[in-house]
Amino acid sequence: MKSTGRKFSNNDKKETQAKKLKVSNDDCLINQYILNDNIRADLSRAFRNNKDFIHDGSGVSLHTYPFKHCIIRNFVKDEEYLKHLKEELLELQFKEKSNDLYKFYQSNDLKTSRKETISKLRKLLYKDCLDWMKTVTNIILDENAIDMSCAKYTNTDVLLCHDDELEGRRIAYIFYLVPPWTKKDGGSLDLFDINEFGEPDMIVKSLVPEWNSLVFFEVTPVSFHQVTFSQKNRVVVGIVKRFLNTVWKPTTATAENEIT
């Protein structure tokens, strides 16, 4: 009995493999230039050696003063996804958080949210971003210790100077989803240098929120920073403000995540 099935040529196999690869790549929301092996290796080398690194073509930069901080522009490649994400985040219920250090509104834990866009964000943070962060920083990070909530900063909300140093906290970062923004709108991330006693001294750098940008820094005893007063409502979505090192026992401390 003759088979009526079509035999697959080498070209067919190559096409099938290419389709599978495309699907695999499309599953990752991070812009592909960020995952480029050469850029990642150069950034990792600079991070380990405490050197500045700027790659104009990709929008990735690492700065060592006043402490190591990295800025990644156009972090997520899908603009439509980001718009839907922002809409769903703004539909969440927020509770006011207020003390001598901060005033803002925070959502409940998003780890169990069934919303599609938030589920995709979990995958981005818990897998893709975490793996990339481990490679770049050479720091052991624990996916089970990632907080996932967001905070909304409205007019006059603020987060005063602090260093983020809690037990086990190693990397802090903010993912911004803001409209066109300028320094006069407030809400900038101010970085401090230190005096001879290791205390925060002067603001030496201010990072203005920018749509679809990720800012992260290694938490150290000198990583003093603040979020200035907002002059208008921000949807800075700083969904995760920390990654924890697996060596230390995770704490239940409140994260300082933001939606600007």
Whether 155 is covered by a domain: the verdict is: yes
Q: Rounded to an integer, what distance in angstroms lies between the CA atom of residue 154 and that of residue 132?
A: 32
Do 93 and 208 form a contact (C-beta atoms < 8 A)? no
CATH of the domain at 127: 2.60.120.620
Whether 220 is covered by a domain: the verdict is: yes
Residue 33, classed as helix, strand or coil, is helix
User: Worst-scoring range by mean pLDDT, 8-12, 16-20, 213-217, 231-235?
Assistant: 16-20
Give the pLDDT confidence score for residue 240 in this predicted structure.
41
Whether 260 is covered by a domain: the verdict is: no
Question: Which residue matches tokens 């996932």?
Answer: 148
The mean per-residue pLDDT over the stretch 134-142 comes to 89
Whether 23 is covered by a domain: the verdict is: no
Whether 27 is covered by a domain: the verdict is: no
For residue 194, give its domain range: 80-244
Asked if the model's pLDDT at residue 82 lies above 50, the reply is yes
Q: Is the pTM of this model over 0.75?
A: yes
Whether 40 is covered by a domain: the verdict is: no
Whether 60 is covered by a domain: the verdict is: no
Whether 191 is covered by a domain: the verdict is: yes
Asked if the model's pLDDT at residue 26 lies above 60, the reply is no
Give the pLDDT confidence score for residue 187 in this predicted structure.
85
Q: What is the DSSP string of 64-115?
A: -SSS-EEEEES-BS-HHHHHHHHHHHHTS-EEEEESSSEEEEEEPP-TT---
Please state the domain count of the chain: 1
Task: Tell me what percent of the residues of the chain surpass a pLDDT of 90.
Answer: 37
The mean per-residue pLDDT over the stretch 91-108 comes to 86
